[in-house]
Structure 1
C-alpha cells in the first residue's frame, strides 16, 4: 500500500520486521535483561540496545534480506530497518511500553527470557513495538506530505482496507471456487461469470459496499468475524460509513496510480513474473525433497546444494526454503507423486490450500534450534508444538503455515488429519516433543 509520505506500508515491511527481530535477539544476548525491570535504567538500556542492534544490522548489511527492496522508492530493507531503529530515540515511549510488557511477563513467569521458547516471546514483543512505531512514523510523515491530519490508527485503517481489497480480489479471481461468498459480497446470487471480476482492476474499483459485505461474510465462510464485525471498537463505526470507506479507498487508489506512473513497469513486470515462477519451482522441489527424505530416500551430494549463509550474518527464518540447485531432468518417482497427490487431497478435504503441506515444509526455519531438536518429528507435530507454546496466531509464523481462512495455524484436528493420526495421538506426540525441547534447553 502506498500513501503520501509513508515508507513502511509496502511489501518490504515483512522483511524489515524480521530483520529487526533477528538483530534484536542478538542484542538481548549482550544486555542485562534484568535492567528492563528498573525504569531508571530504561534510557541507558535504550542507548545500549540501539548500539547493539545497529552493529548487528551493519554486520549483515550485505545479506540477501538486508539488500532486498524495502519499498517502491528505492530504499532497501537495511536502510528502512536502521532508520526505524533510530526513530526509537525520537519516540522513547515505544521503548518504555516494550519494557513494561517485559516487566509484566517477568511478574507472571520470572526470568522468562531464559526459557526454551524465549526467542519467540521476545520477538513477538519486539514486533509489536516496531509495528506501533512504524505507524506513528508514517502517520507523521503523511501529515507533513499532505497537510492533513492523520493518526497511527488511521494508518492502520488504511492498511486494513488495502488488505480487504486484496482478499476480495483473490476471491474474485477464484470466483468459481467461492461462488457463494462472492455472491454475498456482491449482494446477489451469481449466474455465470460476474462482470465485477473483470471490471475491478485496482483498489480504486473496489466498492465500499463490497468491503462491508466481505467483512460480514467472513464469519459464515471463514469461521471468524471480519474486521468490521468484531467486538473491537477500532472499526465499529466504519461499517456504517460506506462514504468514509469509499474516500479512503479512493485515496489509496489515486496515489498508487499517480506514483506508479513514475515506475518503470516495463522493466520489472517481466522479472516479477519470472521470480514468481521460480518461487513456485523452489517450493515444489523443496516439498518433494522433504517428502523423499521422510520416506527414507537418498540424494546425491552434487544434486542438491544448500545455499551458504552470508559471512558474519547467521541465516534465520525465511518465508521460503534454503536456496537449492536441482537438475531439471530429475522427476520424482510415481510413488512420491502419489503421496503428494494424497496430501493434496487431504488438505482440500480440510479446506486448506491443496499444496499446503508442500509450501509449509518449504517455509520451515531451516537453521532454527527448535527444528534441529525436533527434526525427527513430522511437520504437523512441530506445528502442534508451536500451537501450544506460542498460540495459533503469532507474528513470527511464515504465511505458508497459516490457514488462509483464519490467518492462524490449522486447528489441532486439522493437523491430526494431515498427519494421518488421531487427536489423542497428536496430543501425546506433541507433549513428548515439548518435553524434548525443554530437556534440550536445560542441557544447553
Structure 2
C-alpha cells in the first residue's frame, strides 16, 4: 500500500520487521537487560540498545535481506530498518512501552530474556514496539506530505482496507473455487463468470459494499469474524459507513496510480514524452549548435543541423546496423541462461538477443552508455520517456503489454535487485547530462 509520505506500509515491511527482530536479539545478549526493571536506567539502556542494533544492522547491510527492496521508492530493507531504529531514539515513549512490557513479563516469569527458548516472546515484544512506531512515523509523514490530519489508527485502517481489497481480489481470481463467498460479496447469485472479476484492476475499482460483505462472510467461510464484525471497536464506525470506506479506498488508489507514474514519463513533460527520438535530437542538435557557434558559423535560428555523416555507413547491413552494432557475442551457455531468465519472466526466449540487435549503436545515448547493460539502458528510457512509446523498436517491448518490460522484469533480466537497478539507472541518467556538458565544454 502506498500513501503520501509513508515508507513502511509496503511489502518490504515484513523483511524490515525480521531484520530488526534478529538484530535486537543480538543486542539483548550484549546489553544489561535487567535495567528494564529500573525506569531511571531506561534512557541509558536505549542508548546502548541503539548502538548495538545499529552495529548489527550495518553488518547485515550487504546480506540478501539487507539489500532487499524495502519499498517502491528504492529504499532497501537495511536503510528502512536503520531509519526506524533512530526514530526510536527520537520518540523514547515507544521504548518506555517496550520496557514496561518486559517488566510485566519479568514479574510473571523472571529474567525470561536469559532463556534461549524465550526468543519468540522477545521477538513479539520487539515487533509490537516497532509496528506501533512505524505507524506513528508514517502518520506524521503523511501529515507533512498532505497537510491533512492523520493518526496511527487511521494508518492502520488504510492498511486493513488494502488487505481486504487484496483478499477480495484473490477470491475473484479464483472465483470458481469460492463461488458461494464471491456471490455473497457481490450480493447476488452468479450465472457464469461475474463481470466484476474482469473489471477489478486496482483498489480504486473495489467497492465499499464488497469490503463490508467480505468481512461479514469471513466467519462463515473462514472460521473467524472479519475486521468490521469483531467485538473490537477499532473499525466499528466503518461497518455502517460505506461512503467513508469508499473515500479511503479512492485515496489509496489515486495515490498508488500517481506514484506508479514516478517511473514513467509525466504528461506535463509535453514533447519530451512523445518520442524517444526527441531526446536524441535534443542532445545532438544542442551540441552541434554550440559547436557551430564556437566555430563562428552563422546559423539560422530555425535550422536543424544534419546529423554527422557515418563514415562506416557503407558497412551497414539491411537493418541499418553494422555487424559490430549487434551487441556482444555470447556463448551458447550465456544465451541459454539469458533465455531461461526471459522465459521465467514470460518474455520471448530471445528477448535480450533481439533487443540488443534493435539498438542504434551509433546514437549519442549509446556512445555515452556503452558500458551499461541493456536492461539499464531500457530503464533509462523507462524513466525519461515512459514505458510505452510508438517509436520504441518492437524488439524492446513485452508482447503481453506492448510496453517496455517493468522495472522488476528489467532487474531480473540484469540479475540485480530493484534498488540497485534504480541506482544504476539514475547514475546512467546523470552520466548522460554530464556527458553533454563535458562535450560542450571541450569544443
Once the 2 structures are TM-superposed, how far is the Cα of residue 116 of structure 1 from its aligned partner? 3.7
Equivalent residue number for residue 13 of structure 1: 13
1:250 aligns with 2:250: yes
Flag the 1:275–1:224 CA change in 2: closer, same or farther, 3 A.
Answer: farther
Q: Distance in 1 between matches of 2:341 and 2:10?
A: 19
Flag the 1:186–1:70 CA change in 2: closer, same or farther, 3 A.
Answer: same
TM-score (norm 1): 0.60
For residues 320-368 of structure 1, the C-alpha deviation after alignment (integer angstroms, 9 at most, x for no partner) is: xxxxxxxxxxxxxxxxxxxxxxxxxxxxxxxxxxxxxxxxxxxxxxxxx
Equivalent residue number for residue 188 of structure 2: 188
Q: Give the gaps of 5 or more residues in structure 2.
A: 266-339, 348-443
Q: Distance in 1 between matches of 2:12 and 2:85?
A: 16
Equivalent residue number for residue 114 of structure 2: 114
Equivalent residue number for residue 405 of structure 1: none
Flag the 1:95–1:242 CA change in 2: closer, same or farther, 3 A.
Answer: same
Q: Distance in 2 between matches of 1:146 and 1:134?
A: 18
Q: Secondary structure at the match of 1:201?
A: coil
1:53 aligns with 2:53: yes
Q: Secondary structure at the match of 1:117?
A: helix
Flag the 1:272–1:236 CA change in 2: closer, same or farther, 3 A.
Answer: farther
Q: Secondary structure at the match of 2:57?
A: helix
Q: Distance in 2 between matches of 1:28 and 1:84?
A: 18
Once the 2 structures are TM-superposed, how far is the Cα of residue 274 of structure 1 from its aligned partner? 3.6
Equivalent residue number for residue 137 of structure 1: 137
Q: Distance in 1 between matches of 2:122 and 2:12?
A: 22
Q: Which has the larger radius of gyration?
A: 2
How do 1:225-304 residues align onto structure 2 when only pairs under 5 Å count? 225-263=225-263, 274=344
How do 1:120-159 residues align onto structure 2 when only pairs under 5 Å count? 120-159=120-159
Equivalent residue number for residue 200 of structure 1: 200
For residues 109-135 of structure 1, the C-alpha deviation after alignment (integer angstroms, 9 at most, x for no partner) is: 111112242111101100000000000
Flag the 1:222–1:271 CA change in 2: closer, same or farther, 3 A.
Answer: farther
Q: Distance in 2 between matches of 1:254 and 1:271?
A: 33
Flag the 1:264–1:29 CA change in 2: closer, same or farther, 3 A.
Answer: farther
How do 1:31-430 residues align onto structure 2 when only pairs under 5 Å count? 31-263=31-263, 274=344
TM-score (norm 2): 0.60
Q: Distance in 1 between matches of 2:148 and 2:17?
A: 28
Q: Distance in 1 between matches of 2:21 and 2:235?
A: 29
Flag the 1:248–1:271 CA change in 2: closer, same or farther, 3 A.
Answer: farther
Equivalent residue number for residue 385 of structure 2: none
Once the 2 structures are TM-superposed, how far is the Cα of residue 275 of structure 1 from its aligned partner? 7.0
Q: Distance in 1 between matches of 2:263 and 2:88?
A: 31
Once the 2 structures are TM-superposed, how far is the Cα of residue 31 of structure 1 from its aligned partner? 1.1
Q: Give the gaps of 5 or more residues in structure 1.
A: 278-444
Once the 2 structures are TM-superposed, how far is the Cα of residue 261 of structure 1 from its aligned partner? 1.2
Q: Distance in 2 between matches of 1:262 and 1:87?
A: 27
Flag the 1:80–1:257 CA change in 2: closer, same or farther, 3 A.
Answer: same
Once the 2 structures are TM-superposed, how far is the Cα of residue 273 of structure 1 from its aligned partner? 9.0
Q: Distance in 2 between matches of 1:154 and 1:54?
A: 30
Q: Distance in 2 between matches of 1:150 and 1:127?
A: 22
Flag the 1:273–1:60 CA change in 2: closer, same or farther, 3 A.
Answer: farther
Q: Distance in 2 between matches of 1:213 and 1:122?
A: 37
Flag the 1:86–1:227 CA change in 2: closer, same or farther, 3 A.
Answer: same
Flag the 1:163–1:133 CA change in 2: closer, same or farther, 3 A.
Answer: same
Once the 2 structures are TM-superposed, how far is the Cα of residue 264 of structure 1 from its aligned partner? 5.4
Q: Distance in 2 between matches of 1:236 and 1:107?
A: 34
Once the 2 structures are TM-superposed, how far is the Cα of residue 33 of structure 1 from its aligned partner? 1.2
Equivalent residue number for residue 328 of structure 1: none
Equivalent residue number for residue 23 of structure 1: 23
For residues 9-59 of structure 1, the C-alpha deviation after alignment (integer angstroms, 9 at most, x for no partner) is: 011100000000000000000011111110000000000000000000011
Q: Distance in 1 between matches of 2:342 and 2:2?
A: 19
Once the 2 structures are TM-superposed, how far is the Cα of residue 276 of structure 1 from its aligned partner? 10
Q: Distance in 1 between matches of 2:195 and 2:263?
A: 29
Flag the 1:273–1:172 CA change in 2: closer, same or farther, 3 A.
Answer: farther
Q: Distance in 2 between matches of 1:196 and 1:272?
A: 32
Flag the 1:101–1:271 CA change in 2: closer, same or farther, 3 A.
Answer: farther
